[in-house]
């Protein structure tokens, strides 16, 4: 098992190096704008631009730049500085991470619980009105863009601009450490919006998986043994059906930790997604690069965790 | 040029205004804060009599670019910088004609040869904590000198201060062009008589004092970190800790900023009333949500571009909370004067004549946020009226804002195309901004109507400038939506960088059409040296006439800017800064 874990971690590191190299190519070799010019402003003289180019190391060869860049990331965890505020990108990401974690973990609890409940009910009551209604609603939420859905719930339920003023609206986020209750209430609408799409997807997944599992011989055996239907569904059916869902959950959480750009923007949650959005609109490449790398790191870590969990649950995996 | 970036976002004010447009006229000249159509104008808002105290909440979806006075060069940066810093001169909210002495105690003295400027500064102005001491002329000298420090790299130092003696070799330390004979006097020595433009530039944030003994250690870092530890000389300061650190305390990039009163500010030395106790700036969020929060909320303003749907909503339901500011810049089509079909004067005139500028402006937001542009010096800039005002010069290709194909075809024939349509084989390369898709498509379709084959590419605005339109080697034929806003009210600040052939540079050129007419270049070089305001006004207006005669570009929008506030805010907008709300004059009702 230990060898398996080491192998997976090493592959993760290799992947991270590849992603870092790709981001270098994207932002330095194929620039969408000259970083020195962007930093200097629009009427800067060629002299100023040249000086900034030297400061940023853009006058060095690409290989040299690549070496310094990789060395900075892997030896010093140095992601550079914002072109505009001069703030450390590493510091900015660390500052924004708690908000993104709050949003992601809360939303994942909501979508997992609701997705499981709806999926199970739909699976055991297939083709009933309840099943059709639930799956129809799921389709609706899957089709609804998060951005649009966010605006709609704000216009309906936000305490400042809503028609029915119930929940705190955009810009109300406070850190958990400063006021737990305000933190909780400020995240209710973002959690619901972020969970809506995912919950619908998970409900359909669970339904499909449960439908298949509930037709298996061992389920029939369990019923024949006289176990209660509740026990058959939850202990025997769900346990098998939930495995593929957990894999996707880990990946979805990894992706969202890289920033839920649209939801964070609509609800003005100062997380990594909003940081990334602001950096993109300002062409602040070091921040975009840093958030891309952070996102990749979260996805790779989530992948490794899923692989390890699989290997733990199914010994055949680690011997393949 | 600060407002140039702002104008990028003006595209956001588009079609939704269209229904409201017909009723929207130009700003009123009445004495009330609202015009006849119920919309506010910075020209008429009351600058005195506000209620003292309270906290203003600012909802901005954009972050600052730089809060260091040596680097600030963006509309929203300016509002914070001019509330916290005192340049030698600055503009009162309702004017963009003449800067008032700010840190300076009186108007500058200019020598008769236009090569020496003497400025006396006020006694009793103090830096905020932790510096606390009185501001002296040496602090102003250091502030300007640090503009040449590569670690600071002020974006306009070379454009406006390069005529100071010895500035060419300046690296951040003293140079002969700036001397301080005593604690309250600073003298600028110029190599040529460009006093007028240097004097204008002294109203930019670079002339706000910086204490050398405190800032030097931060300026030694690459890049300078003085902005993160800055001290204030104005009525407000970024909230800081006992060491003066602002970053992470009074300014959290991308999240928030807090301005509090500067305890060392002496009201008797300042024309700013500074009614508010505190200004909380929240950064980020969706412009539609922010706009609604401001209009329906309390004690709030938005101080960056307002979403087009919100402008419409404000116009229809919250009209007294809407401000429209004229004179926010220009937007025009840059055509390649150097090569290709538009190196021919008559072809350029044909394009101008054919373009439906009314439709272009509807795509940009309509008459609420734009007037049809008829020449290049725009409203509120001296020389605008001399150059033709809103009507513009009376030339046939300028007289039909909705476009006139008969006149266009006449000029195409004069350009050597007997059918009145382009018959060459070249496919024109157009590069426009995704923020102005509608205008770019109208320009493209107009060209095709004149017989051109075109290839239109739409890219992010910053990419359009940095990679295509600002790089002559790319040989772009048409940039359908470039824009410009002047740093100060002078024709030179509008026309020189954008149309002077001597200002074309290989990368980052702002002369997007590569206009390089020796006669116009010579006229500009001559006009730069004029010192009398009247003479400058006439000279630059005459250059504007020549640019129109030369059809150097195809103009379409004199830009106006929309701002919104909550009902209980008595906002005062800065005419000189696209109407952005001035924190030092705005109060709560």
Instruction: Give the best residue of B284, B461, B463 to mutate against chain A (max A CB count within 10 A).
Output: B284
Could you tell me which chain A residue has the CA closest to the CA of B493?
A43
C-alpha distances out from residue B40 to B34, B60, B222, B312, B553, Å: 4, 20, 44, 15, 32
8 Å CB contact of B508 and A86: no
**Average pLDDT, 10 consecutive residues per value, chain A (320 residues):** 84 89 80 68 69 81 87 86 83 94 95 91 88 87 90 94 94 94 96 90 90 90 90 86 82 86 93 90 84 90 83 65
ipTM of the complex, rounded to two decimals? 0.80
Could you tell me which chain A residue has the CA closest to the CA of B505?
A46
Give the 3-state secondary structure of residue B222: coil
Q: With contact defined as beta carbons under 8 Å apart, do B387 and B395 qualify?
A: no
8 Å CB contact of A84 and B63: yes
Give the 3-state secondary structure of residue B118: strand
- In the stretch 139-158 of chain A, residues with CB closer than 8 A to chain B read 150-151, 154-155
Could you tell me which chain B residue has the CA closest to the CA of A261?
B285
Could you tell me which chain A residue has the CA closest to the CA of B59?
A171
Which residues in chain B have Cβ-Cβ distances shorter than 8 Å to A40? 153, 155, 508
Could you tell me which chain A residue has the CA closest to the CA of B466?
A33
CATH class of domain segment(s) A89-313:
mainly alpha
Its sign, for the CA torsion B565, B568, B573, B577, is negative
**Cα-based angle A120, A126, A131 (whole degrees, multiple of 5):** 70
Judge whether A30 is closer than 8 Å to chain B, CB to CB: no
Judge whether A110 is closer than 8 Å to chain B, CB to CB: no
Q: How far is B44 from chain A (nearest CA, A)?
A: 30
Q: For residues B345 and B349, what is the distance between their CA atoms, to the nearest angstrom?
A: 6
**Cα-based angle B315, B317, B322 (whole degrees, multiple of 5):** 45
8 Å CB contact of B254 and A270: yes
Single pTM value for the model: 0.85
- pLDDT, residue A25, reads 85
- pLDDT, residue A45, reads 67
8 Å CB contact of B253 and A85: yes
Judge whether A87 is closer than 8 Å to chain B, CB to CB: yes
Which residues in chain B have Cβ-Cβ distances shorter than 8 Å to A274? 254, 284
8 Å CB contact of B223 and A86: yes
Q: With contact defined as beta carbons under 8 Å apart, do A155 and A267 qualify?
A: no
Nearest-by-Cβ selection for B293 from A48, A85, A161 = A161
Q: Which pair of tokens denotes residue B373? A: 């542009």
Q: Which pair of tokens denotes residue A302? A: 């989530």
Nearest-by-Cβ selection for A160 from B73, B153, B296 = B296
Instruction: Flag residues of chain B having pLDDT under 50.
Output: 1-32
8 Å CB contact of B63 and A169: no
DSSP structure string for A60-79: S-HHHHHHHHHHHHHHH---
Instruction: Give the best residue of B253, B329, B461 to mutate against chain A (max A CB count within 10 A).
Output: B253
- pLDDT, residue B185, reads 98
Helices assigned H by DSSP within B464-562: 491-499, 518-528, 533-549
Q: What one-character DSSP code corresponds to residue A168?
A: -
8 Å CB contact of B507 and A34: yes
Beta strands in B53-122 (DSSP E): 55-60, 89-90, 100-101, 109-110, 116-120
8 Å CB contact of B289 and A85: no
- Closest alpha carbon to A250 in A295, A210, A194, A299: A299
- pLDDT, residue B13, reads 35
Give the per-residue SS3 of B381-406.
CCCCCCCCCCCCCCCHHHCCCCCCHH
List chain A domain ranges: 2-76, 89-313
Identify the residue whose tokens are 């500058």: B108
Q: How far is A55 from chain B (nearest CA, A)?
A: 7
8 Å CB contact of A170 and B228: no
8 Å CB contact of A34 and B255: no
Q: Which pair of tokens denotes residue B546? A: 């020549």
């Amino acid at each position: 098992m230990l060898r398996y874990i080491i192998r997976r971690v090493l592959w993760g590191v290799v992947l991270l190096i590849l992603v870092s190299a790709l981001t270098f190519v994207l932002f330095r070799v194929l620039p969408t704008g000259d970083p020195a010019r962007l930093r200097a402003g629009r009427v800067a003289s060629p002299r100023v631009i040249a000086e900034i180019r030297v400061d940023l190391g853009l006058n060095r060869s690409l290989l040299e730049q690549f070496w310094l860049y990789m060395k900075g990331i892997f030896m010093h965890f140095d992601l550079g500085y914002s072109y505009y505020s001069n703030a450390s990108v590493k510091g900015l990401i660390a500052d924004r991470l708690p908000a993104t974690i709050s949003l992601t973990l809360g939303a994942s609890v909501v979508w997992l619980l609701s997705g499981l409940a709806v999926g199970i009910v739909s699976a055991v009551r297939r083709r009933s009105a309840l099943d059709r209604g639930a799956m129809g609603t799921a389709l609706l939420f899957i089709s609804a863009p998060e951005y649009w859905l966010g605006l709609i719930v704000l216009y309906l339920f936000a305490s400042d601009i809503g028609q029915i003023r119930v929940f705190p609206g955009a810009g109300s986020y406070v850190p958990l450490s400063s006021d737990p209750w305000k933190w909780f209430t400020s995240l209710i609408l973002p959690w619901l919006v972020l969970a809506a799409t995912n919950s619908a997807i998970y409900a359909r997944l669970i339904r499909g998986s449960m439908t298949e599992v509930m037709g298996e011989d061992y389920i029939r055996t369990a019923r024949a043994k006289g176990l209660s239907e509740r026990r058959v569904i939850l202990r025997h059916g769900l346990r098998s059906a939930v495995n593929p869902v957990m894999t996707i959950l880990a990946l979805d959480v990894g992706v969202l930790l890289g920033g839920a750009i649209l939801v964070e923007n609509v609800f003005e949650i100062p997380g990594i997604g909003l940081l990334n959005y602001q950096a993109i609109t300002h062409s602040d490449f070091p921040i975009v690069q840093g958030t891309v790398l952070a996102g990749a790191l979260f996805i790779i870590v989530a992948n490794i965790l899923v692989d390890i969990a699989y290997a733990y649950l199914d010994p055949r995996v680690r011997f393949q | 040029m600060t407002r140039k970036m702002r104008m990028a976002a003006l595209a956001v004010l588009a079609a939704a205004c269209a229904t409201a447009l017909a009723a929207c006229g130009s700003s009123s000249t009445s004495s009330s804060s609202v015009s006849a159509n119920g919309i506010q104008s910075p020209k008429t808002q009351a600058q005195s009599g506000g209620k003292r105290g309270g906290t203003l909440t600012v909802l901005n979806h954009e972050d600052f670019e730089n809060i260091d006075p040596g680097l600030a060069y963006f509309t929203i940066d300016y509002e914070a910088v001019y509330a916290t810093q005192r340049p030698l001169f600055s503009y009162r909210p309702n004017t963009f004609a003449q800067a008032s002495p700010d840190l300076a105690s009186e108007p500058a003295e200019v020598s008769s040869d236009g090569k020496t400027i003497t400025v006396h500064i006020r006694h009793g102005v103090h830096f905020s904590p932790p510096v606390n001491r009185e501001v002296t002329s040496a602090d102003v000298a250091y502030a300007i000198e640090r503009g040449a420090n590569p670690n600071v790299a002020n974006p306009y130092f070379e454009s406006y201060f390069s005529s100071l003696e010895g500035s060419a070799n300046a690296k951040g330390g003293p140079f002969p062009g700036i001397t301080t004979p005593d604690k309250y006097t600073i003298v600028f020595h110029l190599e040529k008589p460009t006093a007028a433009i240097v004097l204008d530039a002294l109203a930019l944030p670079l002339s706000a004092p910086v204490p050398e003994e405190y800032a030097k250690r931060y300026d030694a870092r690459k890049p300078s970190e003085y902005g993160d530890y800055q001290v204030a000389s104005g009525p407000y300061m970024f909230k800081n800790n006992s060491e003066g650190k602002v970053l992470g305390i009074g300014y959290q990039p991308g999240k928030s900023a807090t301005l509090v009163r500067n305890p060392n500010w002496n009201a008797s030395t300042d024309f700013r009333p500074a009614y508010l106790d505190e200004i909380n700036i929240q950064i980020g969020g969706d412009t539609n949500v922010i706009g609604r929060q401001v209009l329906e909320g309390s004690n709030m303003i938005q101080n960056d571009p307002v979403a087009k749907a919100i402008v419409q909503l404000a116009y229809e339901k919250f009209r007294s909370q809407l401000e429209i500011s004229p004179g926010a810049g220009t937007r025009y089509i840059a055509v390649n004067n150097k090569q290709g079909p538009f190196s021919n004067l008559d072809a350029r005139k044909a394009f101008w004549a054919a373009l439906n500028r009314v439709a272009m402006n509807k795509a940009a937001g309509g008459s609420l946020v734009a007037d049809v542009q008829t020449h290049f010096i725009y409203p509120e800039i001296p020389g605008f009226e001399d150059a033709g005002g809103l009507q513009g010069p009376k030339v046939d290709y300028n007289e039909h804002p909705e476009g006139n194909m008969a006149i266009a075809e006449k000029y195409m024939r004069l350009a050597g195309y007997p059918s009145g349509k382009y018959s060459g084989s070249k496919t024109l390369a157009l590069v426009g901004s995704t923020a102005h898709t509608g205008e770019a498509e109208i320009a493209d379709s107009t060209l095709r109507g004149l017989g051109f084959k075109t290839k239109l590419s739409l890219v992010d605005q910053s990419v359009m400038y940095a990679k295509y339109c600002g790089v002559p080697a790319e040989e772009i034929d048409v940039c359908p939506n470039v824009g410009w806003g002047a740093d100060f009210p002078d024709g030179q600040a509008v026309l020189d960088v954008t149309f002077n052939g001597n200002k074309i540079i290989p990368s980052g050129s702002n002369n997007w059409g590569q206009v390089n007419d020796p006669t116009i270049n010579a006229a500009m070089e001559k006009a730069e040296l004029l010192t009398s305001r009247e003479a400058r006004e006439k000279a630059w207006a005459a250059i504007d006439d020549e640019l129109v005669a030369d059809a150097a570009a195809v103009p379409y929008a004199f830009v106006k800017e929309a701002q919104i506030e909550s009902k209980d805010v008595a906002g005062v907008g800065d005419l000189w800064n696209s109407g952005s709300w001035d924190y030092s004059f705005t109060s709560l009702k």
